[in-house]
């Protein structure tokens, strides 16, 4: 008998995310087991509980989803889950804390529809948050030169240091402070793409600054709460052409984000060895677009 597809939700928050639960069911999970307030040190035993209950041939029908608002804890849970597994008792695992991975992948893929990222320069505004950090990482892996902006140079430099620690070459990463007008103007002047990754309701770029950005070909703002992050970009913009530039607002990216989230959950059940983070979601997202192109 075919085993039911079980998704085990490990959430670091006091209550497991309802949003992630609903998406999991919509994406094809037949049973959802929810664990809240999960601590990294508890993960090994939880994972072993999943590894040993079904034979290796059935383990592709068991998978983990790691979520929660604390991305640092979530990443530790993800690493501990992977470290706790060994052949042939593996189960697939995915991490999307607060939607940060799927949102970052959707944003970068949206930009890549209009611009060859390799060799381009990008400005990531508020690059220190969970989404901004992932946008910056994916862009650097796409061989973009990335300005990482923060109100604090120490914080943007800390993000650069983390990415350097993950093997990204130093020449692709430049930490700047939004308080430093000279560097901010330089980044705005040089960038072909800008991503607004600030907290909800925070304005990061004015219409005047946007106008000065003559090299800009794509502008993407992920903040859905007024005032929006980049003045002049509409919440629902989805590839809206304004002069030489194409604009996306938070809802304009949101559709692809949801598709990536669902397809990632579905792909967990294709084998017992998937490990899906923001980089894997780039592959999944590009597949979605390629399939849509073939159909249309």
Ligand X SMILES: NC(=O)c1ccc[n+]([C@@H]2O[C@H](COP(=O)([O-])OP(=O)(O)OC[C@H]3O[C@@H](n4cnc5c(N)ncnc54)[C@H](OP(=O)(O)O)[C@@H]3O)[C@@H](O)[C@H]2O)c1
What is the enclosing helix (H) or strand (E) of 92? Answer: strand 92-95
* Contact flag: residue 284 with ligand X (CB under 6 A): no
The two three-digit tokens of residue 130, written as one number: 């969970």
Residue 74 near residue 277 (C-beta atoms within 8 A): no
Site string for ligand X, 154-183 (x = CB under 6 A): -x----------------------------
Number of residues that bind ligand X (CB under 6 A): 25
Residue 42 near residue 36 (C-beta atoms within 8 A): no
Among 230, 250, 268, 276, binds ligand X (CB under 6 A): 250
* Contact flag: residue 126 with ligand X (CB under 6 A): yes
Q: How far is the C-alpha of 192 from the C-alpha of 214, rounded, in Å?
A: 8
| Cβ-based nearer residue to ligand X, 16 or 51 | 16
The two three-digit tokens of residue 234, written as one number: 């509409």
* Contact flag: residue 137 with ligand X (CB under 6 A): no
CA 231 from centroid of its chain's CA atoms: 23
DSSP structural state of residue 227: S
Measured from the Cβ of residue 42, the count of other Cβ atoms closer than 10 Å reads 14
Region near ligand X per CB under 6 A, out of 25-33, 49-57, 249-257, 267-275: 249-257
Among 21, 131, 144, 284, binds ligand X (CB under 6 A): 131
* Contact flag: residue 110 with ligand X (CB under 6 A): no
Among 168, 197, 218, 281, binds ligand X (CB under 6 A): 197
Least gap, CB of 66 to ligand X (angstroms): 15
Region near ligand X per CB under 6 A, out of 164-172, 194-202, 210-218, 273-281: 194-202
Q: How far is the C-alpha of 109 from the C-alpha of 232, rounded, in Å?
A: 21
| Cβ-based nearer residue to ligand X, 120 or 150 | 150
Distances (CA, A) of 127 to 12, 27, 34, 195, 220: 23, 30, 31, 9, 13
b/e for 259-277, b at 16 or more Cβ within 10 A? Answer: bbbbbbbbbbbeebebbbb
* Contact flag: residue 202 with ligand X (CB under 6 A): yes
| Cβ-based nearer residue to ligand X, 115 or 153 | 153
Tokens 């560097």, located at residue: 183
Binding site for ligand X (CB under 6 A): 98-100, 103, 126, 128-132, 150-152, 155, 197-200, 202, 222-224, 250, 254, 257
């Amino acid at each position: 008998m075919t085993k039911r597809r079980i998704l085990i939700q490990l959430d670091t928050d006091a209550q497991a995310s309802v949003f992630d639960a609903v998406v999991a069911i919509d994406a094809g999970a037949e049973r959802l087991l929810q664990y809240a307030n999960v601590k990294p040190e508890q993960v090994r035993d939880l994972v072993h509980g999943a590894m040993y209950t079904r034979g290796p041939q059935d383990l592709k029908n068991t998978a983990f989803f790691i979520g929660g608002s604390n991305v640092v804890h979530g990443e530790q849970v993800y690493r501990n889950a992977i470290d706790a597994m060994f052949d042939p008792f593996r189960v697939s695992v995915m991490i999307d804390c607060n939607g940060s991975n799927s949102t970052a992948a959707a944003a970068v893929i949206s930009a890549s529809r209009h611009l060859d990222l390799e060799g381009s320069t990008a400005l990531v505004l508020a690059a220190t948050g969970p989404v901004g950090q992932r946008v910056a990482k994916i862009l650097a892996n796409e061989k973009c030169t990335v300005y990482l902006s923060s109100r604090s140079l120490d914080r943007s430099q800390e993000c650069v240091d983390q990415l350097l620690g993950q093997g990204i070459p130093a020449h692709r990463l430049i930490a700047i402070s939004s308080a430093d007008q000279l560097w901010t103007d330089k980044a705005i002047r040089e960038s072909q793409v800008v991503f607004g990754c600030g907290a909800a309701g925070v304005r990061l770029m004015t219409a005047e600054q946007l106008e000065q950005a003559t090299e800009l070909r794509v502008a993407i703002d992920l903040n859905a709460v007024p005032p929006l992050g980049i003045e002049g970009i509409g919440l629902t913009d989805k590839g809206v052409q304004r002069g030489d530039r194409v604009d996306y607002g938070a809802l304009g990216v949101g559709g692809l984000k949801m598709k990536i989230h669902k397809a990632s959950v579905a792909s967990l059940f294709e084998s017992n060895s998937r490990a899906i983070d923001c980089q894997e979601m780039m592959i999944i997202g590009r597949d979605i677009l390629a399939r849509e192109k073939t159909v249309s």
